[in-house]
Amino acid sequence: MNAFSAKKITILTTVLVMAVLAGGVTIATLARQPHAPAVPEGRETRVDLERRVTSFTAAFGPHGGYRPPARDERRAVADGVGLLLDGRREEAVRRLSSVGYGLLTLTDRVTGRRFAEVAEAGGGTGRGWGRVYLDLDSPPRWSVQVPHPVADRDTERFGVAVLRGTPGGVLVLAGAHRRAGRGNEADVAHRSDTVFHVVCGELVERGMPAVQAHGFADDSAPGYDAIVSTGRGEDGRDEARELTRVLRDGGFEVCRAWARRCPLEGRTNRQGRRAAVEEVPFLHLELSRSVRDDEELRTRTAEAVAATAAGWR
């Protein structure tokens, strides 16, 4: 290398360093730029969380697209969520970006609380793998799971209401209608080869209790507003009894799966089975169409569930 070339490289290096310092970023940041989230770390976006979720789910339909994730793809999303729970944001961003997911910080206009959104970058690719929302203002300690958004009408709204209802929550939201794709491959409540299931498993490994929300047609369980079960396991029975008591005190008719035979008890639910193996509380909650269609009734039910979640420490 001649003296002119060396001098030229030195000048270019100096200019680069000055530009980096002026921009308030570091060389390390530039090095990981291909893996950066859509919104840079530290920047927040104010949203109505329910409106954001329902805008995402609005396009869901039984003829929508769904691509089953490979083992390493579903593991990457779950790892990213786990790293976030461990407070390792930069590592989470890199792991998520390896499968086209990004990380945003959202401030909910209704509650003023901050949430991390784990979602497909750039609005999604139609793979239908879903999203995760984590409370950033309190240590996450429980989850609300919505496996059948739109198909079980307004359970996505119910999930947001529960998340808003008490600190420390994680919302796990399926990314497609349960009848999308081929066969039952998008019915995440009954499959273990989905991003939804592996993310829920990541939470179970941390001992985090869960409420999973479903919906039923009124004539599927006449006379009942809700069906409460602990699924396959017995853990969470005390919480199930307390939730039932609060709902009954509020005028709801509740079928208790541990006290009598109820329809839609959720005993074949994959996430419930996983929680039962690990002896982690899991509540399977079915709500009638009448309850879900009525905003006041839906809100009161969500408040009862949030009060139950508040007792999980």
Phi-psi region of 187 (alpha: psi -120 to 50; beta: other; left: phi over 0): beta
Would you list the DSSP string of 101-139? EEEEEEEETTT--EEEEEEEGGG--S----EEEEESSS-
Q: What is the pTM of this model?
A: 0.86
Measured distance CA(220)–CA(21) in Å, rounded:
64
Q: Are residues 96 and 24 in the same domain?
A: no
Q: Are residues 17 and 42 in the same domain?
A: no
* Cβ-based neighbours of 38, under 8 Å, separated by 6 or more: 102, 104, 121, 122
Q: What is the DSSP letter of 230?
A: -
Measured distance CA(7)–CA(46) in Å, rounded:
48
Q: Are residues 42 and 11 in the same domain?
A: no
Residues 107-160 have pLDDT tens digits of 999 999 999 999 999 876 689 999 999 999 999 999 999 999 999 999 999 999
* Cβ-based neighbours of 262, under 8 Å, separated by 6 or more: 221, 224, 227, 229, 255, 256
Beta-ladder partners of 132? 118, 172
Q: Are residues 201 and 292 in the same domain?
A: yes
The domain spanning residue 159 has which CATH number?
A: 3.40.630.100
Q: Are residues 10 and 67 in the same domain?
A: no
Number of domain units in the chain: 2
Q: Are residues 15 and 85 in the same domain?
A: no
Q: Are residues 15 and 119 in the same domain?
A: no
Section 171-179 average pLDDT:
97
Task: Spell 108-142 as b/e; 16+ CB within 10 A means b.
Answer: beeeebebbbbbbbeebeebbbbbbbbbbeeebbb
Lowest mean pLDDT segment, chosen from 12-26, 37-51, 221-235, 297-311: 12-26
pLDDT of residue 44: 72
Mean of all residue pLDDT scores within the chain: 88
Q: Are residues 175 and 84 in the same domain?
A: yes
Q: Are residues 221 and 124 in the same domain?
A: yes
Q: Are residues 206 and 264 in the same domain?
A: yes
Lowest mean pLDDT segment, chosen from 23-27, 142-146, 269-273: 23-27
Measured distance CA(33)–CA(38) in Å, rounded:
11
Beta-ladder partners of 119? 102
Lowest mean pLDDT segment, chosen from 11-15, 28-32, 262-266, 300-304: 28-32
Residues 44-102 have pLDDT tens digits of 799 999 999 999 999 999 999 899 999 999 999 999 999 999 999 999 999 999 999 99
Q: Are residues 26 and 147 in the same domain?
A: no
Q: Are residues 11 and 95 in the same domain?
A: no
Three-state secondary structure call for residue 181: coil
pLDDT of residue 26: 34
Q: Which range of residues forms the domain containing residue 299?
A: 38-310
